[in-house]
Chain A
């Protein structure tokens, strides 16, 4: 009965779930995917180089998000009888994360992914059938064959449609080849790349330049790449990584990204990076858009290898950010991108109210605080494991199982541990607020004894303006490159980041710390009162690892030295830094700044190129700045789309000047 009901409202995929209810969930979702691809409405062709293009039409309310994503959240109650709704909810919404909500800053068991584009383009999806037939588990084997059949059918429908509208012959021919058969040219590879990206919900592009290298013969690919990037952007997709193994190809990948919000680009640079790549990258930075982010391969990949020795050296080259910029190995990993986000400032606030008045020394207060953080991390780790177990049981993902290695070889579903590598990223939010707050407490309560613990607690509770103005002016804070502060910040960050090292992760190598905020630091601060770093009640937490409240007044080198004093190697998930620069930076100086930062151990740097005046004007007149893009948290976003408090925070970030100050 439910099948007929779902078919009658056009929910073909959901109906597919009920065709063979005696089979396991993986099989049923696979069949549903097949039915979806057999019947779904095709995207309109508007003369693009690539197909599909544009926003994925979601005419069906039930599918396909729950077939590829995390939860069953697109169901319209109004469209189904209550019996059918209850049944669907019961059977497909059983998975819920149990990570405490206050520690889900920037993420709650959300998992981005990157398909193994290169393998599919090299071998062709048709060849996957032989590998699938080796799988012992009947439901998984037959399920994956359904998915491949569905894709074949979808491609055939696409080609018929494109023929009917007299689409570009080259595009039609390419789709007759890729992704079912190996690509033979760079254009075919990009057509295939685009199609695979849509199969995975337009999430991440992966290692594009190295992936296209085998097909590249020096031709101009920029128009196709622009089409690919637009498709990712329109579907709110995320990241791409670029090396410089083939400089002319990397240059084209960069050129196509100029002025675009997405993809977020992770560009690996070092002293050997060719000058033309530097020029193009810096010109792209200066075109606005906060692209690319600069990455230190030695520090990041070397660190990951030390953290997880099981990673093969050749696989490390497949590093790519997934989502904002969470560390992944493209096509090989199942990374809990942002399984949890520990709100460090919230824990500090609770510790202040509970313990400051009765703490006899700063050391004892510090121990109580870090002890509370440790307890929270342990609890969160336990909940992540429980949630991952539930996710494996209730949310098998046939498409990712097909597209990501080694699920087929292992005969294990993606969420159940099929990917070659897996880790769980725990991001720490508010670290810089906590560093400045603890230093203020040490100075005012324990060193200078200007206030008792009780007095300071009460002043904070009242949001006392004089106190907040006093603490903001304290010299000892993050961002000024003061030895004593740096030493303290190093010890605290090392202690906190290392808390994720212990404990086993089911279906993976382990936990990995990060400091990545999305735009979530705004929401995370709303329920926290005023804090001893000078932050007023309800205002946002710090943006990842940069300084706060314009305290970084000694220039960009002092700020970056403060950042490298943190234990960045303990937060390989990654440690994000946002830098605002003015337009008087020369290319050479900016390059030297980036290289110097990396030489000191900096891992990642994102640069927004906008003056304070421009940001102020955009705040007052959003209609004049529709294309203004800024870097915030780990991602690029249109300034106009940010919540108000984040706009203010970005305006108030120090804009580092490039000349004599």
Chain B
């Protein structure tokens, strides 16, 4: 079983309890306008280009088989021609070009995860599948989770919850913990901000609860978009109505992913959104 992986990050301490290895899977059905990992959205490989690092050596043009660079002396990059093969990034010594997304097998991924088993045991940690969205490559996700679970490793996913009931049930049965994102509780606004319907997400959240799998709700605070009393009140009611919910973790908006849009040649829609300060974050926390 193969799939496209953005990164396997060892020693993560914020994606569930203890020391964890987080597998960032590529591809997400949502297009949250504030997304700070835009390189994770498409399931295909992508190349980012940092013009400020480019020394115009021309080596990338020499290895490119798709003619992405018209002028060999200048790293002028025509993204629409790019097949994401990554040969240019491999040869780039200045670090201007970077490939996002590699095909990896479940075997390879599990081998990396198992390397830190002693640290999971010592800390109560384990593995977390994140993304992108792990349900997007659900067969790979299921296989990794099943194997890790069989090895006695604590398993978690961080999910937006968008997927068919069948897929969702298939994946969560191997999870010890789920970190479940609720971006917005108003159906119309959810569709506007993320591009998908809220309904299947709430259905899956109920399934999680009825299956008695412990979960945290993760709620981003996006000033001027979802920082409404009604939204946070709705979140509190959701929490109160679900006995498997361990709590709500708020995730204050930050713009550290802003520059990634430039590198990927995309527009960033949240240019003017301020980062909430600690006092404001505490206020919203107090409502949930």
Across chains A and B, the number of contacting residue pairs, with CB separation under 8 Å, is: 66
B93 close to chain A: CB less than 8 A: yes
Residue pair B13, A561 in contact (C-beta under 8 Å): no
Residue pair B122, A595 in contact (C-beta under 8 Å): yes
A555 neighbours in B (Cβ, 8 Å): 9-11
Interface residues of B in 1-24 (CB under 8 A from A): 9-15, 18-19, 22
B101 close to chain A: CB less than 8 A: no
CA distance A510 to B198 in the complex (A): 72
The smallest beta-carbon distance between A599 and chain B, in angstroms, is 5
CA distance A253 to B119 in the complex (A): 29
The smallest beta-carbon distance between B268 and chain A, in angstroms, is 21
B115 neighbours in A (Cβ, 8 Å): 481, 557-558, 561
Please tell me which stretch of A156-164, A243-251, A282-290, A653-661 contacts chain B, meaning at least 4 of its Cβ atoms lie within 8 angstroms of it.
A653-661
B121 neighbours in A (Cβ, 8 Å): 596, 599
Residue pair A557, B119 in contact (C-beta under 8 Å): yes
Residue pair A660, B12 in contact (C-beta under 8 Å): yes
Query: How many A residues have CB within 8 A of the partner chain?
Result: 26
Interface residues of B in 105-127 (CB under 8 A from A): 111, 115-116, 118-119, 121-125
The smallest beta-carbon distance between B131 and chain A, in angstroms, is 14
Most buried by A among B11, B19, B22: B11
Interface residues of A in 558-613 (CB under 8 A from B): 558, 561, 586, 588-589, 591-593, 595-596, 599-600
CA distance A652 to B110 in the complex (A): 32
| Partner pick for A557 among B11, B15, B111, B124, CB 8 A cutoff | B11
| Partner pick for A592 among B9, B10, B15, B119, CB 8 A cutoff | B119
CA distance A211 to B50 in the complex (A): 61
Contact A599 to B122, CB < 8 A, known contacts A561-B115, A592-B19: yes
| Partner pick for A661 among B12, B18, B19, B118, CB 8 A cutoff | B12
A554 close to chain B: CB less than 8 A: yes
CA distance A591 to B11 in the complex (A): 14
Residue pair A586, B13 in contact (C-beta under 8 Å): yes
A461 close to chain B: CB less than 8 A: no
The smallest beta-carbon distance between B98 and chain A, in angstroms, is 13
CA distance A230 to B269 in the complex (A): 60
Residue pair B116, A588 in contact (C-beta under 8 Å): no
Residue pair A660, B10 in contact (C-beta under 8 Å): no
The smallest beta-carbon distance between A616 and chain B, in angstroms, is 22
Residue pair A592, B125 in contact (C-beta under 8 Å): yes
Residue pair A557, B116 in contact (C-beta under 8 Å): yes
Chain A residue, CB-CB nearest to B111: A483
CA distance A584 to B11 in the complex (A): 13
Chain B residue, CB-CB nearest to A555: B11
The smallest beta-carbon distance between B173 and chain A, in angstroms, is 27
CA distance A555 to B122 in the complex (A): 17
The smallest beta-carbon distance between B119 and chain A, in angstroms, is 4
A556 close to chain B: CB less than 8 A: yes
Chain B residue, CB-CB nearest to A599: B118
A470 neighbours in B (Cβ, 8 Å): 93
The smallest beta-carbon distance between A476 and chain B, in angstroms, is 15
CA distance A54 to B100 in the complex (A): 61
CA distance A315 to B11 in the complex (A): 39
Residue pair B10, A557 in contact (C-beta under 8 Å): yes
Residue pair B19, A589 in contact (C-beta under 8 Å): yes
Residue pair B13, A596 in contact (C-beta under 8 Å): no
Interface residues of A in 235-274 (CB under 8 A from B): none
CA distance A558 to B11 in the complex (A): 8
Residue pair A600, B12 in contact (C-beta under 8 Å): no
A81 close to chain B: CB less than 8 A: no
Contact A660 to B118, CB < 8 A, known contacts A473-B93, A557-B19, A592-B123: no
Chain B residue, CB-CB nearest to A657: B11
Residue pair B13, A660 in contact (C-beta under 8 Å): yes
Contact A558 to B10, CB < 8 A, known contacts A592-B18, A599-B118: yes
A658 neighbours in B (Cβ, 8 Å): 13
A469 close to chain B: CB less than 8 A: yes
CA distance A642 to B48 in the complex (A): 41
Most buried by B among A473, A589, A595, A659: A589
Residue pair A554, B123 in contact (C-beta under 8 Å): no
Chain B residue, CB-CB nearest to A592: B123
CA distance A660 to B18 in the complex (A): 12
Contact A556 to B123, CB < 8 A, known contacts A561-B116, A596-B19: no
Contact A660 to B15, CB < 8 A, known contacts A558-B10, A588-B123: yes
Chain A residue, CB-CB nearest to B125: A592
Most buried by A among B12, B18, B22, B116: B116
Q: Which residues of B contact A (CB under 8 A)?
A: 9-15, 18-19, 22, 93, 111, 115-116, 118-119, 121-125
Contacts A555-B11, A589-B123 aside, 4 further interface pairs with beta carbons under 8 A come to A557-B119, A592-B119, A592-B123, A659-B12
**Interchain Cβ contacts under 8 Å between A and B, 16 examples:** A481-B115, A483-B111, A554-B10, A557-B10, A557-B11, A589-B123, A592-B18, A592-B123, A593-B19, A596-B118, A599-B118, A599-B122, A660-B9, A660-B12, A660-B22, A661-B12
Closest 8 pairs (CB-CB, A-B): A592-B123, A555-B11, A596-B119, A592-B122, A596-B122, A596-B118, A595-B122, A660-B14
